[in-house]
Amino acid sequence: MVTRSRLVIAFSSCVVLLSAGCKDLPDSVAQVDLNSVMGMVANDPQFSTLWGLISAAEVRDELHTKQDKTLLAPTNQAFAEIGQEALDRLIQPENKTQLQKILRNHIIDAAVSAPELANGNFGVNELGKKLNTGRDETGATTVESARVIKSMKADNGYIHAIDEVLLPVVAGSTRAE
């Protein structure tokens, strides 16, 4: 069984390797606008697992942009809920496409505030899917089955911390990938 510390080492290794090979992307967080979606996620400890996956999947360029983005950001605890074995599988090179799909399920190509998200006033995510949003019985904003824990405004959009990973549904199936 792989421990959490081995996962952190694996993610760190991925970040180092990817940074060395990505000339068009910032080599360090210091080269990123710290108030951008990417900068805020990279510097927030509650998103360290998400940041490692974003780096491993090579989708940083989708968040390193002047265009407005909204990131539905699962917290470390949300990723812990899907299990260590699942995370270990996702970071394997042969599963990169699946990991990219999972992450793109969390990205909206527009700045969507918390009230807009709660009212369903946004387009589609990067997979072309309109996510089900609303409010639960306590008044908390929900996206699919996840609750929005906190919303943050970035220079190029919004980050909504969520308590679950939004797994895309396989076409023609009722199971998530």
Nearest to 151 by CA among 101, 96, 112: 112
What distances in angstroms separate CA 82 from CA 60, 72, 74, one per listed residue?
22, 16, 11
170 domain residue, yes or no: no
Mean pLDDT for the stretch of residues 49-59? 92
Position 71 pLDDT exceeds 50 = yes
Say how far residue 113 (Cα) sits from the centre of its chain: 17
Tokens of 63: 């968040």
174 domain residue, yes or no: no
91 domain residue, yes or no: yes
107 domain residue, yes or no: yes
For the whole model, what pTM was predicted?
Answer: 0.79
Position 75 pLDDT exceeds 50 = yes
Out of 68-72, 80-84, 141-145, 167-171, pick the least confident.
Answer: 167-171
136 domain residue, yes or no: yes
Task: Report how many domains make up the chain.
Answer: 1
168 domain residue, yes or no: no
Which domain does 27 fall in, by range? 4-162
Domain containing residue 91: CATH number = 2.30.180.10
Run of H or E including 154? strand 146-154
175 domain residue, yes or no: no
